Amino acid sequence: MAAKNDQQTLKRRDFLNDSIRTLASLAIGGLAGLIVTRSNKTDMVWQIDPTKCVQCERCSTNYVLTPSAVKCVHAYDVCGYCNLCGGFYRPDAKILDTAAENQLCPTKTIKRTYIENPYFEYTIEEELCIGCGKCVKGCNSFGNGSLHLQVRHDLCVNCNECSIARVCPSGAFVRVPASRPYLLKGEQGLESHAKLQEIQKIRIRI
C-alpha cells in the first residue's frame, strides 16, 4: 500500500514539474514574441511615398488620432516661389491675394509671404494642417510638386495595421526604417530630414 502511495506521489510530482516547465516555456516564448513585436514596431514606421501618393484625402478622414499625423511638407529647394502658386490658390481664384475665398487649403495652413517681385515664399503651419492633400494636388497639377505629405512620428502611434494604409488606393503608405523615417523631395532631403528629426525631439520634450 505504501509503495502504491509513493508511486502516485511521484506521478503527481512529475506532472507538476512537467506543467511548470510547459508554462515557463510558454511564458518565455510569449515574452520573446512580445520583444520581437516591439522591436519590429520600433525599427519600422509608417510613411508616405510621395511618388505613389495620389492625394485622395483619406489621410484626413481615416486617421486614429485627431488631428491626423499626416502633414504637408514643403521642399523649399524645389519650390519656384511663384506668384501664382497652385498649392495656395484655388483654380478659380479671381484675385491673387490672401482672402480665404481664394485659398485652396480649407484650414488656411499655408502662409504666403512677399520676398521680392515676383517671388513669394509659402510656409506650412502644421498645427493647422489636417493632411487632406488638396494643396499637394494643386502643386502637382499646376506647379513643380514641392508640396508633399509625410507622417509626423511625434504624432503617429505607429499601429501594427495603419487605418490609413488599409484604405490608401495607391499603396503609398509603406513601412520604412525608423532611423530614416521621412521620404523627402529635393536635393536638400538629408538636411531637411535632420531638421525634421530635431523638431520632433523638441516637440516630444515639450
pLDDT digits (tens, 9 = 90+) for 115-142: 998 899 999 999 999 999 999 999 999 9
For 114, the grid coordinates are 512677399
Where the chain has pLDDT below 70, the residues are 1-42, 187-206
Cα angle value 186/122/129 (rounded, 5°): 90
- How far is Cα 8 from Cα 24, in angstroms, rounded to an integer? 24
Nearest to 75 by CA among 147, 158, 155: 147
User: What DSSP state is assigned to residue 175?
Assistant: E
Whole-structure pTM value: 0.71
Q: What is the pLDDT of residue 190?
A: 44
- Rounded to the nearest integer, the mean pLDDT of the chain is 80
Asked if residues 161 and 46 have their Cβ atoms less than 8 Å apart, the reply is no
What stretch of H or E contains 195? helix 189-205
